[in-house]
Amino acid sequence: MKYYIIAGEASGDLHGSNLIKALKIKDTDARIRCWGGDLMQQAGGNLAKHYKEMAFMGFLEVVMNLGTIAKNIKFCKEDIQQFAPDIVIFIDFSGFNLRIAKWAKLNGFKTAYYISPQIWASRESRIKDIKRDIDKMYVILPFEKDFYENKHGYPVHFVGHPLIDAITTKPKMGEQEFRAQNNLDAKKPIIALLPGSRKQEVQKMLTLMLSVMSSFPDYEFVIAGAPSLERNFYTPFLNNPNVGFVSNKTYDLLSHSYAALVTSGTATLETALFKIPQVVCYRANWFSYQIAKRIITLDYISLVNLIMGKEVVKELIQNELNTKNLRSELSKILEGPFRTAQFEAYFELERKLGGKGASEKTAELILHDLRD
């Protein structure tokens, strides 16, 4: 069978790569063309477009790049037509993918969505588009099944969260080897800094995260460099001997960290699954934030708190994200009852996510639907 898969950012590339591996095991004749990144290409996908050419963050950046987005949409439609897949599979990246899904459905292609658009957070009216344009939906968060089926009468499959597979199958590096390989202090406990993957958010977040460093001299602060950014981009933040840096090794870093400061997004869930106490950070430009707070209807912004339905990890948002609050909240998770409470909640979180096998379950369901 022929599969066309579209992912638009680093997390989609990771989950897309595991889906490609699972599809190739279950369909030995699979031919896969994709939008994604290095991981999807290494897994056996024929890369049509790299996500680095598509990742625009925030309302202003999207508006400024409308011409590029329009060219990408046009190219994508033409490329799908030429490849003529048996199915088009969308992974997250809703702004782009829902546009392509509408066109694909009108042009007679079967459609599937793996990792749902977060319509439960904002613009819930998009359910009409999903019902019209998506043949099958495979969701990865437990509350999404209830949202789609009970609230909107749209049947979906809950397949579990693919991060569990990604984390449990990754080879583990010993702590001393990791420290030596990355020129880190041999003994100081590590506070991991996960500032995001896009230039504008990384610059904003790292400045704030590093502002508390002088209050914690017994710890080493280590920046998780994103695969989409060159090392020299981080150079201005590395002028202190107590700041370490690793590039594209976030899972190895989390494996050996004591605590973490994390920009809101998938990384909050990754950090929780590694059982690392964390403080969640979020700050957007004023204009983007004013729009977002008017359309997002959630009580929390981190996946950890959303899945648990309560505050497990502290969220410092917009003006609350400052040096004083960050220092205070980080102190709380380095020792004492707040640290213990996060550990306990993390084990319950993992249980709720449904265990291993999300990629295999999704591949099996896709093949079953195609062969029906």
- Assign 3-class secondary structure to the chain: CEEEEEECCHHHHHHHHHHHHHHHHHCCCCEEEEEECHHHHHCCCEEEEEHHHCCCCHHHHHHHCHHHHHHHHHHHHHHHHHHCCCEEEEECCHHHHHHHHHHHHHCCCEEEEECCCCCCCECHHHHHHHHHHCCEEEECCHHHHHHHHHHHCCCCEECCCHHHHHHHHCCCCCHHHHHHHCCCCCCCCEEEEECCCCHHHHHHHHHHHHCCHHHCCCCEEEEEECCCCCHHHHHHHCCCCCEEEEECCHHHHHHCCCEEEEECCHHHHHHHHCCCCEEEEECCCHHHHHHHHHHECCCCCCHHHHHHCCCCCEEEEHHHCCHHHHHHHHHHHHCCHHHHHHHHHHHHHHHHCCCCCHHHHHHHHHHHHHHC
pLDDT band at 354 (very low <50, low <70, confident <90, very high): confident
Q: What is the mean pLDDT of residues 344-370?
A: 94
Rounded to two decimals, what is the model's pTM?
0.83
pLDDT of residue 60: 47
The most confident of the ranges 31-35, 203-207, 279-283 is: 31-35
pLDDT in tens, 172-183: 899 999 999 999
pLDDT in tens, 29-84: 999 999 999 999 999 999 999 998 775 554 445 555 666 778 999 999 999 999 99
Is residue 355 scored above 90 in pLDDT? Answer: no
Q: What is the mean pLDDT of residues 330-358?
A: 95
pLDDT in tens, 118-151: 999 888 999 999 999 999 999 999 999 999 999 9
Strand 190-194: give its sheet, edge to edge. Answer: 243-247, 220-225, 190-194, 259-263, 278-282, 314-317
pLDDT of residue 184: 96
Q: What is the mean pLDDT of residues 18-32?
A: 97
pLDDT of residue 295: 54
pLDDT of residue 10: 82
